[in-house]
Chains A and B, each alone.
Chain A
Amino acid sequence: MEIEPYLRPLPMKEPQNEPFWEGIARHEFLVPKCNNCGDWNWVPYPACRTCLSEDLTWTKIAGHGTVMTFSVVHRGPPTFGKEPYGTVLLELPERPRSLVILGNTTGMNPEDLHIGMRMKIVYEEIPSEDFVMYRFAPA
């Protein structure tokens, strides 16, 4: 990481999404799955978008997907440093409602990104912040 300490924005851990961040700390990516109709919901919402049921369970996903699209960002906000970073919309295999997750790449040269590339969700410790963040790495 180019800038130490880490100065990029981090998510507020709010009560309604605590299970998600606890999952991330265990290196598990949890998505609310509807117990009524079986659909997945990302980003998490209080009720299922398909049937409006509030009966949802934080459920572990397979944890890999394909690059729906991406950008290599050369001019980011100042706290993102001067090195280009990869931003990806990762399409997951879970269905029927599509799951597309925004994240940054790690462990690769972002210039090697391409649409359709298989990636897996990995977990990165942010030491100065006591925070684990999800990233995408080549599968």
Chain B
Amino acid sequence: MTGQKRKAAIVGVYATEQARGLERSIWSLELEAIKGALAEAGLSHTQVDGLIPMDYDTPISLHMAWTEQLGGHPITYMSIGNASGGVAKAASAIETGLANVVVIYFGNANNPNGPRQLKMLDRAPRVKDWMFLVHGAYMSVWYAMWTQLYLHEFKAERDYFAEYPVKMRENAMLNPASLMGSRGPITIEDVYASRMIASPLHLFECSLDNDGGYAIVVASEEIARDCKTKPIWVIGGAEAMYTDGYQTITAPWNDPKGAAVKRATEIAFGQAGITHDDIDVAGLYDCFAITVVRNLEEMGFCKLGEGADYMHEGHLWLDGNMPSNTDGGLLANSHNGNPSGMHTIEVVRQLRGECGARQVKDPKIGVSLAQGASVHGLAGVAVLARD
């Protein structure tokens, strides 16, 4: 590709051990990830001048604490969000001279996302007025309701949703770091036979819920050229949000106009000057199959109501034209609380050619989509390219 801006690149990525019940602190996981990602690039922590923590509730005091931890030199860029959006903003900050080395990082330890998040207490706890936990509607329940509606609205084929975890298990089996790969293959029948969690979703259709940390380092062109890794250029990127977090759902829930994922994709693809056919490998946030189905529609790979069919056609599988979530994704690799960076990390490794048995043949352009907070409420897209 020519004419694309190549002013900032991902120069380091690192994921800690991903597992349930790690006896680690969040800080320790984040520190390991930051050090690991910088070491891979051959950079020092003294060069970091931008911080984007991935905790959705990040206060500015967290940036300040990490500024101190990293030695107390001036940090000139601080932001929030999800990882793909973070990569987009880091690149933008670097291009405009606000920073030179930006670290995106996250860690989670013993802070489950699933039903285990509510502990047994001796009195009913009080939560914010319209908080979904009042009704026991934790994340799997939201996505179950979304799946239920989609199946009804578009008369989609139920088996295509159960096929997704089967394919992701296959990917995980080629990823030694994945949580589920060592458990071997599963079939659609196994998916239906796994216990019901929230109808229509069975256990094997739900995200993992584990601990772990990761970091992504974005650096300027000048620095990237001297790093130990192959630069993975950020040629486009954007973020978007359209609603408060799990507060208000509008009817129709699947709006033909599209929402945050559509908008972020349009901006990012426009910046990069790419079309859908240019993408060789992708990381599409995949907490549940419905998320992938709706990602594909909102991103414009197919029309509203066609996502399940499109997925079943095999474009995303390892032998497809745009292999996606080749690490096993959030159902079979890791879901560590805010796993939005895991998709970007896998795309970077694919573009570098580091993925061993699951390596996609000679990919040049990759895309990562992060989403969350109100089912497509908050979206981030990063378009990445190798030299």
Contacts and interface: CB of A to CB of B under 8 A. Distances in A.
Given A7-B123, A69-B146, A74 B197 contact: yes
Interface string A60-85: 00000000111111111111100001
Contact of A102 (B116, B137, B146, B251): B137
B127 A79 contact: no
A68 B125 CA distance: 29
Interface string B254-275: 0000000000000000000000
A69 B195 contact: no
Q: Which of A7, A85, A102 has the most CB of B within 10 A?
A: A102
B199 interface: yes
B125 to A, nearest CB: 5
A9 B199 CA distance: 22
A6 B126 CA distance: 12
Interface residues of A, number: 43
Interface in A116-139: 126, 128-129, 133
Given A12-B126, A78-B116, 17 more contacts: A43-B130, A44-B129, A68-B251, A69-B149, A71-B148, A73-B136, A74-B197, A74-B198, A75-B140, A75-B196, A76-B115, A78-B118, A79-B120, A87-B141, A100-B249, A100-B253, A104-B136
10 contacts: A7-B123, A11-B127, A76-B138, A79-B118, A79-B120, A87-B135, A89-B249, A100-B249, A100-B250, A129-B124
10 residue pairs, one from A and one from B, having the closest CB atoms: A77-B118, A69-B149, A71-B144, A98-B251, A72-B199, A43-B130, A77-B115, A71-B198, A74-B196, A69-B145
Interface of B: 115-138, 140-141, 144-146, 148-149, 152, 195-201, 244, 247-251, 253
